[in-house]
């Protein structure tokens, strides 16, 4: 015989009493869980940091609960990672460079600074790896935005967490001091989107993902012969008549870009300042209006899919839709909604970049003056100045290769 909640388990008359006590306890735990969740949600929505540990590069402000301040020792490493990536180094190469210098990874850094950070001790657990660099380069906390709630608990009955959709994250802008400047952040995000593959030495090619075949639109691939780098259209190898092919040496293309930049700079700097300013502002404001219209359309469509999913569920509850049809339709609706949310997020990034350029004013003169009379290009300069370059086939009987440069300014 045992006693549970003051009820004798051997007495069948107490069965209902035990069931009621159990149900009351369940309600209490559920209610307490909802209250805690509500408080945490409110703090997240207001941009307060609620985690046990600050993100690498920051530390908790001892004078203000929920606020982050920069940890300069770690922040210096964060800035170096972003700078190296913007200069064309791959993520694995950056990790290797940090490891070669004996810089502890974020987990080990916490331990060394006396934080009770519990994680299983594994082989090489103190080393930087690809994914640590990859996660760092896309974390908005480094530009001053508080992003939380990437994972959520399945139930108060278990400690199990599951990833949340990006649209469900809690994101508040400007809650703390940024480590990374917005211009560097935008450049890095652009490079990540291009997914340029680094060479074996760890650096990305000078024109990787920037040179496009003028004949078929394929991205030109890098090759090496006798110590010199070349760019060629890979599509001509896919099928016999796929493309007539484009081919140029990286050295020749670099020289052509520098010559065109100098020619453009001379013509541009002669232009009337007022005329330049008006053209610049009208162009950017026009782009902003088009982008805002597109974002509005995406938001409207997402709202329609959200309502559609809700209506589908109600039809299923009412018996108007069987399980099989509901599953197929809801999967289709959810997939399209997720796609639109990704497009919307990308558009919002573009808008932020546009607004930065508008706020900065017409900086093109300073940009051109900064890069005039160059002897060589770097990957960072190519990222800043060039959107893409189309390369044609060599003109027969000459050594001339037609190119068209699409600048970022």
Residue 298 phi, psi (nearest 5):
-65, -45
Pairing of strands 220-225, 228-233: antiparallel
Phi first, then psi, for residue 177 (nearest 5°) are: -70, 135
Do 245 and 392 reside in the same domain of the chain? Answer: yes
Asked if the structure places residue 194 within a domain, the reply is no
52 belongs to a structural domain: no
Q: Are residues 215 and 361 in the same domain?
A: yes
Nearest-angstrom CA–CA distance, 385 and 294: 26
- Claim to verify: residue 112 and residue 213 sit in the same structural domain: no
| Residue 326 and residue 182 share a domain | no
List the CATH number of the domain containing 174: 3.90.1750
pLDDT-derived band at 116 (thresholds 50, 70, 90) equals low
Q: Pairing relation of β-strands 211-213 and 386-391?
A: parallel
Distance from C-alpha of 308 to C-alpha of 397, rounded to nearest angstrom: 63
Instruction: Please report, rounded to a whole number, the percentage of residues in the chain having pLDDT higher than 90.
Output: 15
Distance (Å, whole) CA 231 – CA 257:
15
Range of 360's domain?
A: 205-409
Q: Dump pLDDT digits (tens) for 366-380.
A: 666 677 778 888 888
Tell me the pLDDT tens digit for each residue of 18-69.
666 666 667 656 666 666 566 666 766 777 888 778 899 999 999 988 899 9
Q: Are residues 307 and 336 in the same domain?
A: yes
CA distance 190 to 202: 19
- Domains of the chain: total: 3
Does residue 94 contact residue 188 with C-beta atoms inside 8 Å? no
Identify whether residues 89 and 137 lie together within a single domain: yes
Least confident of 92-101, 151-160, 202-211: 151-160
Task: Looking at the structure, tell me whether residues 179 and 218 fall in a common domain.
Answer: no
Residues 287 and 383 both lie in one domain: yes
**Of 129, 158, 186, which marks where a domain is finished?**
186
* Better-predicted residue by pLDDT, 386 or 119: 386
256 — pLDDT class (breaks 50, 70, 90): very high
pLDDT in tens, 161-195: 667 777 778 888 889 999 999 989 998 988 887 66
The structure tokens listed for 165 are 């959709």
Please check whether residue 64 is in contact with residue 74, taking contact to mean a CB–CB distance below 8 angstroms.
no
Segments of 257-302 assigned E as strands: none
Judge if 146 and 217 occupy the same domain: no
Higher-confidence residue of 356 and 303: namely: 303
């Amino acid at each position: 015989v045992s006693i549970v909640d003051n009820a004798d388990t051997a007495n069948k008359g107490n069965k209902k009493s035990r069931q009621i006590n159990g149900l009351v306890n369940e309600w209490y735990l559920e209610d307490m869980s909802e209250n805690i969740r509500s408080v945490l949600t409110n703090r997240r929505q207001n941009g307060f940091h609620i985690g046990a540990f600050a993100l690498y590069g920051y530390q908790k402000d001892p004078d203000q609960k929920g606020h982050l301040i920069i940890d300069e020792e770690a922040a210096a490493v964060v800035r170096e990672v972003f700078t190296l990536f913007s200069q064309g180094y791959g993520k694995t190469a950056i990790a290797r460079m940090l490891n070669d210098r004996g810089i502890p990874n974020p987990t080990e850094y916490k331990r060394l600074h006396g934080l009770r950070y519990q994680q299983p001790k594994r082989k090489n657990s103190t080393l930087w790896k690809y994914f640590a660099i990859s996660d760092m380069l896309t974390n908005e906390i480094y530009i001053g935005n508080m992003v939380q709630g990437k994972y959520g608990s399945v139930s108060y009955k278990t400690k199990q967490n599951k990833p949340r959709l990006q649209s469900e994250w809690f994101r508040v802008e400007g809650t703390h001091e940024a480590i990374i400047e917005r211009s560097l952040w935008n450049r890095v995000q652009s490079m990540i989107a291009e997914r340029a593959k680094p060479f074996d030495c760890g650096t990305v090619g000078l024109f990787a993902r920037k040179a496009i075949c003028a004949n078929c639109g394929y991205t030109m691939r890098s090759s090496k012969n006798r110590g010199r780098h070349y760019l060629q259209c890979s599509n001509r190898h896919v099928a016999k008549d796929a493309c007539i092919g484009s081919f140029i040496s990286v050295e020749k293309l670099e020289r052509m870009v520098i010559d065109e930049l100098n020619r453009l700079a001379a013509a541009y700097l002669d232009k009337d300042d007022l005329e330049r300013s008006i053209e610049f502002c009208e162009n950017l404001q026009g782009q902003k209006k088009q982008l805002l219209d597109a974002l509005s359309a995406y938001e409207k469509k997402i709202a329609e899919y959200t309502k559609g999913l809700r209506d589908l569920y109600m039809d299923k509850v009412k018996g108007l839709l069987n399980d099989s049809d509901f599953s197929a339709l809801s999967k289709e609706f959810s997939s399209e909604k997720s796609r639109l949310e990704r497009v919307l997020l990308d558009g919002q990034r573009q808008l932020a970049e546009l607004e930065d350029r508008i706020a900065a004013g017409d900086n093109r003169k300073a940009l051109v003056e900064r890069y005039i009379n160059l002897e060589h290009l770097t990957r960072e300069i190519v990222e800043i100045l060039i959107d893409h370059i189309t390369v044609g086939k060599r003109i027969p009987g000459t050594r001339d290769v037609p190119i068209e440069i699409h600048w970022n300014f």
